[in-house]
Amino acid sequence: MTIQFNDETFRDDYSFRNSEWAIKRFPFPFHEDSYMYSVNMEQHRGGPAGSVYEKRFDVDEHYLAEMKDRALVLDQDPLRCQSLPHMTLAGWDLLELIMECKSEDYPDLFELHRNGNTWRWVNKPMGIDDTFTFLDETTLPYGPMEYITRQAQGDFAVLDQRDDMLWMDAGMITTQADWSLDFDIGMNFFEWHAPVPLAHEKGIFIRALKFLLNIQQGAPARRLNWTMTVNPLLDTSPENYHKWGIQKTELSPENIGHKQHLRVELQTFYRLPRSNALVFPIRCYLCNFQDMMTMPKWGRRLHRVIRDLPDELATYKGFIDNKPMMLDYLSQFDDGQPTSPGIWPDQETEPPLQK
Amino acid sequence: MSGAEKIKVKVTEITPINELVTRFRFTQINGELLPTFSGGAHTVVEMDDGGITRLNPYSLMSDPYDQSSYTISVRRDDEGRGGSLFMHNNVTVGDEMTISYPVNLFSLDLRADKHLFIAGGIGITPFLAQIKQLERFNGNWELHYACRSEALGSYVNVLTDRHPNETHIYYDDQSQAINLVNLLDGQPLGTHVYVCGPKGMINWVRKTAEDAGWPRDNIHYEEFLAPQPGKPFEVKLATSNKVIQVGEHESLLEAMEREGVDAPYLCRGGACGQCETHVIGYDGQFIHRDHWLDDDEHASGEKIMPCVSRFEGKTLVLDR
Ligand code: HEM
Ligand code: FES
């Protein structure tokens, strides 16, 4: 199918909207009626047609608007994109990976023509047609990682692997859930995860690291993570907390349905061949409560998950103050009916709301 | 699923290098390009040795950026369990084989200002790929390579021809030895040392460098471990509810696979940690041979790496 790209914003007037198509394919992150941290990783080898799992790097209706938003963030704060000197080769790896995947998965939108080290890259939606020399930085307007991630949705952390440890030595981070690349750059896996509650005690990070160190070329993996965001903001960074933190107090029973968004990150993991580094694309999907409630299963389940979530998690994710208001709203969509297992909406089989 | 992704290849060239070492070249059967890789990576080669499946890791020695073919070098081990003998005696040009995607447990630290390579014997192979990688980016490197004799010095000529200034060769039979203390002493700050060769050499380099105050992170090593034969033993697999026998010439991992137990693995050489298995109970003696568990873990009797380690005694019960 051809994608209709939305003309929309993630700031000021917040004209971001999800089409019916986007709502249906929203990666609802809860496979059962409760949630706790776990080592929830699986292989990333496609998924149901049309789902966000189908392609290696999902492109959707928000593509152009997200890339505009990224450019704005970078204008104001160039430190959102950093790459330590030894990570340039990993940057080329990432450029190659994204160009290959996008041109193979979306041949009507992207083209890659290779003639030895002379490469021509065509990005039709963004109107880009560039010819450059692979592995020669002087032939691109930015470093290889910055060049390609200005054309790819989601954040990208690029991790060097040394001494059985991962190090955050490069990244393009403009759509993050309240963490900072400038703060985390050069840190290791345990250091940058230090603020997360409960998971350390459960040994989750030790097992997750072992898994990541062993991710191999040709065998990428994925997991989902989630949080809550008031207004469809991509840039919820600590650097700009003074701008967006206050918006959480503007939530009311009248506006919660369209203002409160579930923010889901599709996180994938790829081994990069030339550098042996690991790339961690973090793709953010936003869906407001009222759109999500059009799926009866999601309505029932979201209420139960939020109701039973440990306070430590609600605090860490920054919505503990608004939790009672959320529950008031969500309880209208929970009729106590059982829900089917798995994350899919199961529209055909799930009964409509019985209230 | 266990192990890395697989690639179907054809043997397109077999080149004897000297009395002990033979080089094999692989291309993809479907004619497509092979994946690029990073210098230091290995591939696991599957062999069907008279009904026994052998999976042996070999370093990729070809140019990581040459996707048309891969090469490996196999040293014949007359006392080993047969993987290398199979490669030498049974594989011919045109054979179809299965190898794994490249896996790198010995990668370059790209922060290094200088890479100091120390190789012993067949341990030269990962460095051949790393040198090609570094040459492409004008990297700063130096190689010190110890061989038994001129006749057994694999790739010495190529190295000294192409890189006369960087390559230093030492022949055991001419009583030439690396003066390691001096060598390490003369290195600029930001140098990383890499060693690949026999166990004694690795221990020597690691210890000498640590004694000289080198940071641990600047010392890298890879030893080729092949499972060694040993006395047969019996194992109870609690999760699979099976009692299996491990034969003299197979590893514990191979015995589990033969019995249809899907046991995890990656390197099959005691280095990656993937096969780590919890011990539920035992009465006897472990023969730990891996590099993954530390001394305390070896002594604890709580864990075993089935790809290379064995057991002697009455009973062994594993959580698998
Ligand atoms: C190498 C890849 C990864 C990177 C770069 C990464 C990065 C991060 C960062 C920057 C945070 C925010 C920490 C803060 O509050 O400052 C975070 C949170 C977290 N990470 Fe990771 N992570 C990675 C892999 C994983 C994996 C494999 C797991 C598996 C369990 C995991 C589990 C978590 C959890 C549970 C949180 C808390 C999230 C929340 O509640 O919203 N991470 N991660
Ligand atoms: S398979 Fe790698 S340590 Fe056993």
Residue A342, pLDDT above cutoff 50: yes
Domain range for A302 is: 20-331
Q: B260-265: long-range contacts at Cβ-Cβ below 8 A with a sequence spacing of 24 or more?
A: B261/B237, B261/B320, B262/B1, B262/B2, B263/B2, B263/B306, B263/B320, B264/B2, B265/B2, B265/B3, B265/B55, B265/B307
Which member of A43, A163, A273 has the closest CB to residue B217?
A163
Q: Would residue A114 show up in a list of annotated catalytic residues for this protein?
A: no
Question: Confidence band (pLDDT; 50, 70, 90) for B1?
Answer: very low
Within a domain: A345: no
Residue A2 lies in a domain: no
Tell me if the domain spanning B114-222 has CATH number 3.40.50.80: yes
Is the CB of B55 inside a 6 Å radius of any atom of ligand 2?
no
Task: Compare CB distances from A89 to B41, B104, B110 and report the shortest one's residue.
Answer: B110
Q: Do B101 and A161 touch (CB under 8 A)?
A: no
Round to whole Å and give the CA distance between A270 and A272. 6
Q: For A93-149, how does the pLDDT look when each residue is reduced to its tens digit (9 = 90+)?
A: 999 999 999 999 999 999 999 999 999 999 999 999 999 999 999 999 999 999 999
> Is residue A3 included in any domain, yes or no?
no
Which chain A residue is nearest to residue B110, measuring alpha carbons?
Answer: A86
Query: Min CA distance, B173 vs chain A (Å)?
Result: 35
B144-203 per-position pLDDT tens digit: 999 999 999 999 999 999 999 999 999 999 999 999 999 999 999 999 999 999 989 999
Q: Average of pLDDT values for B42-52?
A: 88
List Cα–Cα distances, B209 to A200, A352, B194, in angstroms: 34, 70, 11
pLDDT in tens, A265-305: 999 999 999 999 999 999 999 999 999 999 999 999 999 99
pLDDT higher than threshold 70 for residue B274: yes
**pLDDT digit string (tens) for B208-261?**
999 999 999 999 998 766 777 889 999 999 999 999 999 988 899 999 998 999
Q: Is B229 exposed, middle or buried (0-12, 13-18, 19+ CB in 10 A)?
A: middle
Query: How is residue A15 written in tokens?
Result: 């004209």
Is pLDDT of A233 > 60?
Answer: yes
Task: For residue B115, give the nearest of B87, B144, B154, B81 by alpha carbon.
Answer: B144
- B26 C-alpha to ligand 2 centroid (Å): 24
State the pLDDT confidence band at A214, using cuts at 50, 70 and 90.
confident
Distances (CA, A) of A75 to A126, A170, A181, A216, A249: 18, 18, 16, 36, 28
A181 Cα: distance to centroid of ligand 1 (angstroms): 13
Residue in chain B lying closest to A89 (CA):
B110
- Please tell me the predicted confidence (pLDDT) of residue A204: 86
Asked which of A149-153, A185-189, A350-354, B53-57 is least confident by mean pLDDT, the reply is: B53-57
A56, amino acid identity: R
pLDDT digits (tens, 9 = 90+) for A61-90: 999 999 999 999 999 999 999 999 999 999
Q: Which ligand is closest to the CA of A188, given by its number?
A: 1
Task: Give dist(CA B69, CA B28) in Å, integer.
Answer: 8
pLDDT in tens, B92-102: 999 999 999 99
Per-residue confidence (pLDDT) for residue B2, from 0 to 100: 62
Q: Among A88, A90, A108, A110, which Cα is nearest to A99's?
A: A110
Strand partners, B153: none
CATH class of segment(s) B233-318:
alpha beta
Helix pair A323-331, A296-308: axis angle to 10 deg: 150
User: Residue B57 has which token pair?
Assistant: 């890791």
| Average pLDDT taken over every residue of chain A | 95
Q: Identify from A167, A214, A278 which residue to disrupt to test chain B contact, counting B C-beta atoms within 10 A and taking the largest count.
A: A214
User: In terms of Cα–Cα distance, which of A89, A144, A170, A141 is closest to B136?
Assistant: A89
Ligand 2 pocket test, pick from B42, B104, B223, B266 with the greatest ligand atom count within 8 Å of Cβ, gives B266
Pocket lining: A161 vs ligand 1, CB cutoff 6 Å: no
- Using the Cβ of A216 and the Cβ atoms of chain B, whether some distance falls under 8 Å is answered with yes
The CATH architecture annotation of domain B6-104 reads: Beta Barrel (2.40)
pLDDT tier, B291 (very low <50, low <70, confident <90, very high otherwise)? confident
Give start and end residues of each alpha helix (H) in chain A: 20-24, 63-76, 88-105, 144-149, 181-184, 189-192, 204-213, 241-244, 256-259, 289-292, 296-308, 311-316, 323-331
Task: Determine phi and psi for A315, rounding to 5 degrees.
Answer: -70, -50
Which of B4, B136, B217 minimises the CB distance to A219?
B4
Total domains in chain A come to 1
Residue in B100, B272, B304 to alter for ligand 2 test, most ligand atoms within 8 A of Cβ: B272
Specify the 3-state DSSP secondary structure of B218. helix
With tokens 């490197």, the residue in question is: B141
Domain ranges of chain B: 6-104, 114-222, 233-318
Q: State yes or no: pLDDT of B30 exceeds 70.
A: yes
- A61 in a structural domain: yes
Task: Say what the pLDDT of residue B81 is.
Answer: 67
What mean pLDDT do residues A145-156 have? 98
Asked if B4 reaches chain A (Cβ–Cβ under 8 Å), the answer is yes
